[in-house]
Structure 1
């Protein structure tokens, strides 16, 4: 068993809509509609469990749903540390897929918005080697304060910190400088191409790595069908291609990548092997509908 990873992030129910053609305003369009478990943090935790990692997942859900979610995560090889919210329901995300597999989101974060310090006690860090935090946790004041406090404790305990920015839409709202200030220094950053460009103002991924490497010891840029690159303040160290696969749904591909990478990292694998494991995880994710392994 590898060292433990603590994942902090959202729990959502994903409602996935695949229209048969363009949506017609004011009229009907036949579509395939499915419910799937989701949320960036939940996706990462479940993919980590599938990769054999020792994973603890901290999040907040509607109180009525808590037993169901606890059973679900245990069944996926994840140790749940879930708080139950009596005021807000569990989060819901509507995903609309276009024919290429690209997606658009409508988000109601629900109970995730009430994640607080009592939900993230320092005791969660016991036996943990790395904390992986979804960027969504920084975009509301309450969760942000709770996460920042736990990350401060992690730094004191010499626990590695990994950040996944998670959303260009939210990053654009708050601005890259504000977001990076909220996050603080960390050992790892997992960003996709759009997030890296937004955070740095640079279009070239070597330049992005150099800029982001000023704040994070190691930076991984997820490049979709082009694979991924790993580097630091000195630029690109590793760059690997992705296999050509049929893309059904890109939801959760970045989460699967981060999970594959982190699981290999905690097993003590080389960065090259970790990058390959992340790419393999992302490639597997896009071949099925939904953000978690089936």
Structure 2
């Protein structure tokens, strides 16, 4: 059996509201509204499973909807390890998607921010070949502690660890220096262009990737560029650039998660860095054609 992917992160109930006109104050704005299972970590897991990877997910959900989320993950081919929270509800994100398919997120982190070291079991690493940490872990004290425990356990087994910074807004609140210190022991950093600029202080994506790679001791940094595709830096130099795959976008929610899932599945299958980026771009292009952050099942 090929090695699998362990994702440690979040499950979220997404409320996706697609509105063709700008939001109007003090009145109604017509929209098409759908409720979908989501969450950055869970989305990555589902897209990777959809690309043939064997995937296990550790996350925390409220008792209010844990069964629904577990069933959705299983239907997507993911092995869910959900810790059920009897005190906090499942996280909820309202995604406001405009006519250009760009989204604005309003977040209630709920049970997701209560995932911590007490939820960890080293046996979760059995049979795994890669560990991916959702950046949302680093925005709560329990999450940071868990991320450190998982990273240490993975390194003890010589397993590579990747991190997606997840949110430029939350990064600003948590502190860039603290985040970079927290992820120093990981192998692969996967920011989008806004996150890369914030983390490096360099507004141009290629320079940001190169500087982040150099600052991380030469480690791999992959920066997603939306319609511009993606690029990667290794040993302080940009070594790969991959164009986007054209697609007619209806909802960009979870496109970055899809890129990560596609890339990690390709890496587990033995693809090199360029081929892995290309796989990520293909998966991201598929993601923008569906409503919500998961593949259609």
Q: Same fold (TM over 0.5)?
A: yes
8 A contact 1:240–1:275 mirrored in 2:
yes
Aligned mates of 1:48, 1:58 — CA distance in 2: 15
Q: 1:190-219: CA deviations, max 9, x gaps?
A: 111101001000122232122211316211
The residue aligned with 2:28 is 28
Q: Does 1:100 align with 2:100?
A: yes
Q: C-alpha separation between the residues in 2 aligned to 1:98 and 1:66?
A: 30
Residues 263 and 2 of structure 1, relative CA distance in 2, 3 Å threshold: farther
What are the equivalent positions in structure 2 for 1:275-294 lying under 5 Å apart?
275-294=277-296
The whole-number CA distance in structure 1 between the counterparts of 2:207 and 2:21 is: 39
**5+ unaligned residues in a row in structure 2: which ranges?**
none
- Residue 129 (structure 2) pairs with residue 129 (structure 1): yes
Supply the distance in 2 between the matched residues of 1:29 and 1:278 (Cα, whole angstroms). 35
Task: Select the structure that is richer in strand.
Answer: 1
- Structure 2 partner of 1:177: 177
The counterpart of 1:227, out of the listed 226, 229, 242, is 229
Cross-structure match for 2:253: 251
Q: Hey, what does 1:75 align to over in structure 2? A: 75
RMSD: 1.3
Runs of 5+ in structure 1 lacking a partner? none
Q: Is the 8 A contact 1:253 1:286 kept in 2?
A: yes
Q: What TM-score, normalized to structure 1?
A: 0.96
Match of 1:15 in 2: 15
Q: Does structure 2 retain, via aligned residues, the 8 Å contact 1:5–1:128? A: yes
| CA distance in 2: counterparts of 1:7 and 1:151, whole angstroms | 12
CA distance in structure 2 between the partners assigned to 1:288 and 1:161 by the alignment: 29
Say whether the 8 Å CA contact 1:120–1:147 is kept in structure 2.
no
* Equivalent in the alignment of 1:261: 263
Q: Secondary structure at the match of 2:261?
A: helix
Name the CA distance, whole Å, in 2 between partners of 1:54 and 1:224.
Answer: 27
Cα deviation digits, residues 58-78 of structure 1 (max 9, x gap)? 000012433332222111110
Q: Distance in 1 between matches of 2:39 and 2:257?
A: 9
1:108-156: CA deviation from partner (whole Å, max 9, x where unpaired): 1111121121212222112211111110111011121122111111112
Runs of 4+ more than 6 Å apart? none
